[in-house]
């Protein structure tokens, strides 16, 4: 019996992975993490360091119009000497001139108001798309993305034709006898709000639609069965569950709106004060690259630092909730 048992074939044991296989698996897993970091290094960190380096320079009548700082051409000793002699005069200059402070405040205020109106318009649209029949959703999604098929400049110029005193909007209102005199919308903040909301509305709708489309609507039915009104169920269930989409949409609208240049320049007129126009004037009119680079660095920090703090707080809250 023992001899018969010993003669039975045993199950094949899986072969241990070789050293080469383990190295390939390790490199593959690392590559997935390295690729986004390389992307950030090439397209964010290196350009940021270049702009920061220019912001520490001094203006010069040359090409490029600044005196380079901390160059490695003269050796490491000279490089460290240059680092010790760095100054932040351009950043001090920004604190002394109220123009830049007012430009930052105006940009943040215009971007915040535009983001609020984009959310006000985009949320019902995204909610309607999410509750539409499944067969209609791809068509509705395509209609939201459709404006991206047209040039951004053409769309802004179209709004100039609509909003100017002799434009289509005033002609329509005058023809319907709703107004007696043309409305002055061009070269005002109202025109800027309209342009930003129209241009960036898809960036608000798409994250909201993604969050609302995944939501379990049986929760709303359960809440209504327990006595909640539709409005109460919306504020207690729908809106809290869609908050990730709200936050993502607000960031996608607010961040580019702060540095917007084309819309304020074309729809807001020359009197509009925003940091994007200030950067343009410093770079191309005044040719003061160091000061304009300092303006860009501060603008980037104003946008990136709060986002990083928010993400850190969110990650910490998730860890505590586990």
Q: Give residue 159's pLDDT.
A: 94
What are the residues whose beta carbons fall under 8 Å from the beta carbon of 155, sequence distance 6 or more?
147, 198, 199
pLDDT computed for residue 14 by the predictor: 56
At 1 the pLDDT is 46
How confident is the model at residue 18, as a pLDDT?
A: 67
Each residue's pLDDT, cut to its tens digit, for the chain (322 residues) gives: 445 444 545 555 555 666 666 676 767 777 777 888 888 888 888 888 888 888 888 888 877 788 777 665 665 555 556 666 677 888 888 888 898 999 999 999 999 999 999 999 999 999 999 999 989 999 999 999 998 888 899 999 999 999 999 999 999 999 998 988 999 999 999 999 999 999 999 999 999 999 999 888 888 888 888 888 888 989 989 999 999 999 999 999 999 999 899 999 999 987 888 998 888 888 888 888 898 999 999 998 888 887 887 777 777 777 776 6
What does the block give as tokens for 211? 């969050």
Distance CA 302, CA 112 (A): 14
Phi then psi for residue 18, to 5 deg, are -75, 170
| Beta bridge partner(s), residue 66 | 59
What pLDDT is stored for residue 2 in this prediction?
47
| pLDDT at 20 (0 to 100) | 65
Q: How far apart are CA 132 and CA 308, in angstroms?
A: 36
Give the chain's length: 322
Neighbours of 60 (CB within 10 A): 13
CB crowding 72-106: b at 16 or more within 10 Å, else e: eeeeeeeeeebeeeeeeebbeebeeeeebeebbeb
Nearest to 207 by CA among 279, 139, 115: 115
The answer to whether 163 touches 186, Cβ cutoff 8 Å, is yes
């Amino acid at each position: 019996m023992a001899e018969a048992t010993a003669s039975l074939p045993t199950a094949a044991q899986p072969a241990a992975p070789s050293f080469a296989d383990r190295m390939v698996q390790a490199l593959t897993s690392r590559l997935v993490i390295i690729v986004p970091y390389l992307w950030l290094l090439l397209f964010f960190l290196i350009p940021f360091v270049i702009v920061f380096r220019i912001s520490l320079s001094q203006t010069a009548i040359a090409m490029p119009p600044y005196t380079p700082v901390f160059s490695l051409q003269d050796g490491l000793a000279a490089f460290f000497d240059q680092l010790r002699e760095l100054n932040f005069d351009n950043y001090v200059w920004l604190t002394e001139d109220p123009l830049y402070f007012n430009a930052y405040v105006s940009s943040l205020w215009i971007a915040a108001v535009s983001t609020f109106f984009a959310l006000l318009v985009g949320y019902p649209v995204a909610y309607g798309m999410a509750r539409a029949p499944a067969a209609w959703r791809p068509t509705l999604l395509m209609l939201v993305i459709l404006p991206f098929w047209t040039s951004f400049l053409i769309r802004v110029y179209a709004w100039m034709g609509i909003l100017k005193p002799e434009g289509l909007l005033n002609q329509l209102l005058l023809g319907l006898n709703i107004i007696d005199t043309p409305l002055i919308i061009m070269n005002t903040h109202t025109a800027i709000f309209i342009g930003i909301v129209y241009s960036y509305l898809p960036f608000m709708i798409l994250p909201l639609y993604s969050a609302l489309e995944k939501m379990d609507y049986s929760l709303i039915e359960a809440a209504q069965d327990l006595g909640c009104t539709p409005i109460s169920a919306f504020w207690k269930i729908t809106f809290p569950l869609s908050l990730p989409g709200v936050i993502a949409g607000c960031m996608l609208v607010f961040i580019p709106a702060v540095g917007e240049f084309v819309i304020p320049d074309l729809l807001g007129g020359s009197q509009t004060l925003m940091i994007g126009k200030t950067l343009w004037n410093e770079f191309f009119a005044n040719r003061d690259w160091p000061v304009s680079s300092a303006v860009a660095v501060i603008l980037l920090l104003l946008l990136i630092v709060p986002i990083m703090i928010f993400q850190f707080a969110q990650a910490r809250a998730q860890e505590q909730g586990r």
